[in-house]
Amino acid sequence: MSSKMKKEFLDLGKHPIANAFLKEKDFDNEFLFDLKVVFDTESKLVSLKEFVEPEKIFNENYPYTTSNSFPMIKHFKETAEMLMKEFNPLTVMEIGSNDGVFLKNWSNDYTIGVEPCGNFAKVTKGMGYQTYNEFWTTGLSEKIKNDGYLLFDLIYAANCICHIHDLDDVFKAVKNLLHKDGVFVFEDPSLLKILERNSYDQIYDEHPHIFSITALDNILMKNGLKIFRVDNLSVHGGSNRVYVSHNRPVEPSVRENLQKEDDFGLNEFKTYQEFAKRVEKSKNDLVDLLVKLKNDGKRVMSIGATAKSTTVFNYCGIGVSPWQADLIELITDTTKDKQGMCAPGSHIPVVSRESIDINDYDYVYLGAWNFKDVIVNIESEFVQNGGKFITHVPNVSIGSAKWVPQGNINEFLVEWK
C-alpha cells in the first residue's frame, strides 16, 4: 500500500516493548520506539506508523501465558466446543498457539500449532501436538503442505493476526492451507470498541494493526477469501470473531457490522482526529487525578502488569518523569515471570499479590480494566475497608463498590464517578 494513503492521527510518544519486563541493570539499554498511529485512506486499515521487528517481541522470553488467565481458559474451551459443534472439523491448525489453551481441546492426531515463541512451542510439543516454532508466512504454509498435511477444515487464531505486519502474506498463507469447504476463524480487538471506549491502551508494539471489519473485508477479498460471519465479543474489552471461507454464503452479521462502522465514521479521517483529542484529555485527567491524590497523602498501586498499562504509564509519563515517579507505587501480577521485575519504560516494580497488604493503599488503578469485575470481587477485603478503584476507560473515574444480592450470592457492584 502506498505511504501516501497513510495519514497520521495519533502520537503517543516514545514507548518500550510492552511486555519486555526488565531488571534495574538493564534500564540504560532499554529499546524505545515512536508509537504513532496512521489511517490508510484506501483500505481503511489502522496501523502503527513504525513496526517493531517481531523477533524483539515474540521470542523465548515472551511472558504472556494464556493459562494464567482463568477467564481466557473458559473462553477458549467454550470457543472450541462451539466450533466443534457447528463445523465438526477433522483437521485443525492454530496460528499463535501460545501454551496450548485452545489446542488441548482437540485430538492430537489431526491438530497442529504454529508458535514463534520457543518457550510456548516446547509446552505444546510436550503435550503431543506437532508445533512449528516459526512465524506464520506463506513460506511456512508451503513447508506444512510439503510435510504431508491435508488441507485444514479449521484454521483458528486468537489475538494473533493483528500482530503480523504483512496481512496480504498472512491471508495468502491461510488460503494456501484452507480446505475448499473449510473455515478460518480469528479473534482480535475491535477498532470500533476502542474508539467507542477510548481504550487507547490497546495500541502498543504487539498490535501493528487494529482491525475494523471494513478493512478486513477489503484486504481478505483482495486475497481471494471472504468474511461470511462476524461475532461481537466482550473479551479483551471488545473483540470481533471473524469467520472466513472460500465461498460460504455471507450472513447478515457482516452487513450489520459494516453498517455500524460506517455509521460511527470509521471510514472518515476526522473520526480519528477526534479520537486523538479524547486520548489527550484522558491523559491529562489521569495525571491530574493521581497528582491530586499524591498531594492529599493518598497511596495508589496497580493490579495487572499488562501491555495495556505499559501504554498508559508511558504515554502519561507515570513513573517515567522524575516528578511522577511514585504516583503509582507498585504493580501486582499473578504471572511469575513478571514478579521481581520492573514494568517496561515506567520502571514501576512488579510484585506478587501475596507480598503486599492491599489495605496499605487507598486506591487501586486497574491495569487490567477488562477484568475489573473479577478483580473487584477478589479484593473484597479492600472494598470493605473503603478502598477505591481507578480506571481510565471509557473515561477517568473513581469507583467505590457495594454488596448487591445476585440470586443466591452477593457480588460487588462498582459505581464509577
pLDDT at residue number 158: 95
What's the pLDDT at 236?
74
Please tell me the distance from the alpha carbon of residue 367 to that of residue 22, in angstroms, as a whole number.
18
The answer for residues whose C-beta is within 8 angstroms of residue 394's C-beta and 6 or more apart is 196, 197, 198, 199
Q: How far apart are CA 112 and CA 279, in angstroms?
A: 41
Contact 211, 221 (CB under 8 A): no
- 298's CB contacts (< 8 A; 6+ apart) are 362, 363
Position 7 scores a pLDDT of: 97
Query: Which amino acid is present at 319?
Result: G
Alpha-carbon distance of 211 to 136, in angstroms, equals 18
- Position of cell 501465558? 65
pLDDT of residue 68: 65
Amino acid, res. 259: Q
Q: Return the axis-axis angle of helices 213-222 and 252-264, rounded to nearest 10°.
A: 120
Evaluate the CA torsion angle 135, 139, 141, 142 in order and state its sign: negative
Q: What is the pTM of this model?
A: 0.90
Q: What does the alpha-carbon distance between residue 56 and residue 29 come to, in Å, rounded to a whole number?
A: 13
Taking alpha carbons only, the member of 20, 54, 16 closest to residue 35 is: 16
Three-state secondary-structure class, residue 102: coil
**DSSP 3-state assignment of 222?**
helix
Mean pLDDT by 10 residues, the chain (417 residues): 79 95 95 97 97 79 64 90 97 95 93 93 94 96 95 97 96 98 97 97 95 98 97 90 98 98 98 98 97 96 96 93 80 93 96 97 94 86 91 93 62 71
Neighbouring CB atoms inside 10 A of 41's CB total 16
The 8-class DSSP code of residue 21 comes to -
Query: Mind listing the domains of the chain with CATH numbers?
Result: 45-266 (3.40.50.150), 284-416 (3.40.50.720)
Set of cell numbers at residue 400: 467505590
Q: Are 233 and 241 in contact (CB under 8 A)?
A: yes
Residues in the chain: 417
Cell, residue 345:
519504560
Residue 260 backbone phi and psi in degrees, to 5: -60, -45
